[in-house]
Every structure is written in C-alpha cells, then in structure tokens.
Amino acid sequence: MNLVLLGPPGGGKGTQAKRLQEKYGLVQLSTGDMLRAAVASGSEVGRRAKAVMDAGQLVSDEIVIAIIDERLDQPDLAKGAIFDGFPRTVAQAEALDAMMERKGKKLDFAIEIRVPDAYIVERITGRFTCGKCGAGYHDTFQQPKIAGTCDSCGSSEFVRRPDDNVETVTKRLEAYHAQTAPLLPYYDKRGALKLVDGTMDIAEVTRALEAVVDSAG
C-alpha cells in the first residue's frame, strides 16, 4: 500500500502519517523532515535548501525528486510508504509516477486532508515537537500529559520549526494553492483521490483515513 497525503501546511499530514505508520507498518516519507535533516547536517543539499525553506518557498523539484528516488530503493518499504509533503508540484507527481513504475511499485490512493486557510495559522504557530523522539504537540490542541515532559520518551527538550511563524505560513499557504493544489485534479482524473475533512479532531481524522486504507481490502 502506497499513499500520498495531500493538504495544506499544518493540515495534519505529519501527525496522521505517524499514526498510519504505527497501525499499518507503512513508512512515513516526509521530504520536509529529510530536508531539515540535510540542513542540520550542513550538507550541500542542506545549504541550498535552507534559505528557500526559511522563506516558505518550495525547494527545487530536482532536489526533492533525487532525495525520494534514493529513499525508495531502501529495503524498509516492503509494506509501503506514506508520502507526506511530496509530491508538491505536478512535475514531482509525474516524476513519482515514473519512479514507482520503474521500481515496480503502485500508488494506491492520494488522500486530501482538507483544512481551510482560516485554521492554519493557529495550528502552525502553536505546534512543537519533542527534540528527542519527534512526537508532535500543540499549545492548544495537544499538550503533553505532564507539562514539559514528552509523553512518548520522557524528554524535556522541545523544538519549534523556524518556518512556523505567521509570515512564513502565509507564504507556504500561497505556495500550496499555486503549486500543490493542482495535484488534486491530477489524482482525481485517474480515480485515485479521496477526501477527508481535516477540521475534525485528530482521532476522527485518523478514523476517516483508516477507513480509506481499509477500503483497499
């Protein structure tokens, strides 16, 4: 089973990908996480990507396609992948189709987690993650059970993304509408697009996504 999660920044793709990963043994492939790791490592790709990410724009198709191409060859994807934040342009979607075909894999669904822009700023500016295990939290919607302590690993180190600020969010939403939204008709035309209402609470969105995955039998 290979899934693409579509939807605006802050719409819940990463949170939900982690939940589906746990339940179905699929592997979350987040190009945002991979690029942040490249930035942290100080690699050539990281240096090229950093300024673009800080500005809320999209990194070049060439860079992200190369990252995914290499990742898809690794052996841990036997049960399948959840693409989170990739593809983000029609050129990336076409490249993904070609890569999947070349590697003998199939894309089962593209699922839009639909969230109107009005929700996004609050969602993004309130979110933070555990610096040690990456568990996600939110100032309003999902606080740790014990303040200052990660529920999953007990760490007291939390991080916020440098691009999770009001100005950059606006740019990221613009990029979403201009460059990524055209992927909705791209997948719909071939009957692969499913829609989930991303304004529901986290557990309800998970249930709706599971219903889609389970519908594949």
Q: Can you tell me the distance from the alpha carbon of 72 to that of 70, in angstroms, rounded to the nearest whole number? A: 6
Contacting residue, 18, 86, 112, 113, with ligand AMP by CB under 6 A? 86
User: Where are the strands (E) in 41-90, listed by range?
Assistant: 81-84
What residues numbered 9-28 form the site for ligand AMP, per CB under 6 A? 9
Query: What letter does residue 177 receive in the DSSP assignment?
Result: I
Q: Using CB under 6 A, which of the segments 29-37, 72-80, 115-123, 138-146 binds ligand AMP?
A: 29-37
Q: Residue 137 half-sphere exposure, CB side, CA atoms within 13 Å? A: 23
Q: How many CB atoms lie within 10 A of CB 49?
A: 22
The amino acid present at 82, given as its one-letter code, is I
Distance from CA of residue 194 to its chain's centroid?
Answer: 16
Contacting residue, 19, 50, 88, 123, with ligand AMP by CB under 6 A? 88
Nearer to ligand AMP, 32 or 80 (CB): 32
Out of 48, 71, 114, 161, the active site residue is 161
Q: Can you tell me the distance from the alpha carbon of 209 to that of 116, in angstroms, rounded to the nearest whole number? A: 18
Q: How many CB atoms lie within 10 A of CB 189?
A: 9
Q: Can you tell me the distance from the alpha carbon of 79 to that of 101, in angstroms, rounded to the nearest whole number? A: 17
Q: What share of the chain is helix, strand, coil (3-state, %, to 5)?
A: 50, 15, 35
Whether residue 88 lies in the annotated active site: yes
Residue whose CB is nearest to ligand AMP in the complex, by number = 32
CB of 5 to ligand AMP, least distance (A): 10
Nearer to ligand AMP, 85 or 217 (CB): 85
Whether residue 114 lies in the annotated active site: no
127 near ligand AMP, judged by CB under 6 A: no
52 near ligand AMP, judged by CB under 6 A: yes
Nearer to ligand AMP, 56 or 80 (CB): 56
Catalytic residue annotation: 13, 88, 127, 161, 172
Residue ranges in contact with ligand AMP by CB under 6 A: 9, 31-32, 35, 52-53, 56-59, 64, 85-86, 88, 92, 172
